[in-house]
Chains A and B, each alone.
Chain A
Amino acid sequence: MKKQAILIVFSVVLALSMFSCGGGTSGGNSPSKTVEKLFKYVIDKDYDNAVKIYANKDGKVLDEEETAKIKAMLPMVVKVYEKDGGLKSIKVTKETLAEDGNKATVDIVQSYGNGKEEPNSIDLVKIEGEWYVLVTNNMVE
């Protein structure tokens, strides 16, 4: 009976920890998962959460003004891809981790509603144990 109770508690804790890994709003626990998370938010037009996955070109979490800029730009860029039927899914093709373990590159293929496919290479940085997508846009300086 005691063993059964311990097993139930362990299962609940495990389930909760899995949920928190997948449902967090900042970067993820692996470069590939972080990229997948960003695209899920972008495809769902959940810009509030998408913006939390970006880091600036200095490899730091976005400040308030940078966050506002990216959040304003997200729907504008998404709209452009509606001509291709909208961004529908991505497939991770390669993940490369830097030697120091704090930088990574994830290669993906982006798929659109009209069947178009486009390769993309995304740089990430690890900040306090979480992965973030690096945005090097000239507007975020």
Chain B
Amino acid sequence: MTFAGDSTTSDTHANGGLSIPSALFNDGDLLFRRGRSPESHAVLITCRKSAYSHVGMVVVEGGQPWVIHAVPGENGRGPDFIRKETIGEFLAEKKASRYAVYRADFPREIRKRAADNARRYFLQHRLFDDRYDLATDEKLYCTELVVKAYGQANAALTDLGMTELNLVFGKISLLFPGNLIENPHFQLIIYH
């Protein structure tokens, strides 16, 4: 494992699941997880490009890292609002079996702005995009949140490989976590 954090805190996050030192995280980092839900299984078997089924963006507040992410079905019977969780909650045992942290090669200022955008989506109560439509901003799915947060920080993630699902009666193009990992702007920091 490789550590490349430059924050100052040294807390770890267990919560019965995987743990990562807080000091590792920077604003705008991407935290990928391999989930255990049926939805995660669906993502993993339709896109074999990576071992991860979900991604969130890290925002650091007073030295404390949080993850902002778009996910369905984690708000009980309530609307699927974009969530803000601690690292421990995000990587809780029932939700994650593996993780990886990636960092963009953009300047720190851009990464901070991307994190601010993600925080704004959370504060605006934007919803999970169950139609996986990159053309609309009102609702976002996990990878879309990352792309939009960086895009609106003037750091367009170009050359994003999309995965097309064509089932004859209809087709869609999706951006899977594996497509983000393949993007040359992101470098692996740590994984487990």
* A positions within 8 Å CB-CB of B: 38-39, 42, 54, 65, 68-70, 72-74, 76-83, 87, 110, 120, 122, 133-139
Contact = CB atoms under 8 A, between A and B. Distances in A.
Interface in B155-174: 163-172, 174
Interface of B: 41-43, 45-47, 130-133, 163-172, 174
A32 B95 CA distance: 44
A120 B169 contact: yes
Nearest to B38: A72
A106 to B, nearest CB: 10
14 contacts: A38-B169, A39-B169, A68-B45, A70-B167, A73-B46, A73-B165, A77-B171, A78-B170, A79-B131, A80-B132, A120-B169, A134-B168, A135-B167, A139-B163
A137 B45 contact: no
Nearest to A53: B168
A95 B18 CA distance: 56
B133 A76 contact: no
Contact of B42 (A38, A54, A72): A72
Given A69-B45, A76-B132, 13 more contacts: A70-B167, A72-B41, A72-B42, A72-B46, A73-B46, A73-B167, A74-B167, A77-B170, A77-B171, A77-B172, A80-B170, A138-B163, A138-B164
Query: From DSSP, what is the main secondary structure of chain B's interface residues?
Result: mixed
Contacts of A79: 130-132
A81 B170 contact: yes
B137 to A, nearest CB: 15
B168 A135 contact: yes
B164 A137 contact: yes
B170 A87 contact: yes
B131 A137 contact: no
Contact of A65 (B45, B171, B172): B45
Contacts of B166: 135-138
A55 to B, nearest CB: 11
Contacts of A137: 164-167, 171
B46 A69 contact: yes
Contact of B167 (A77, A82, A138): A77
B172 A139 contact: no
Contacts of B131: 79-80, 82-83
Q: Which 3 A-B pairs have the closest CB atoms?
A: A72-B42, A137-B166, A80-B172
B188 to A, nearest CB: 24
B143 to A, nearest CB: 14
Nearest to A74: B167
A68 B172 CA distance: 18
A122 B131 CA distance: 24
Nearest to B43: A72
A133 B168 contact: yes
A42 B46 contact: no
A76 B173 CA distance: 11
Contacts of B172: 76-77, 80
A52 to B, nearest CB: 14
A57 to B, nearest CB: 11
A73 B170 CA distance: 11
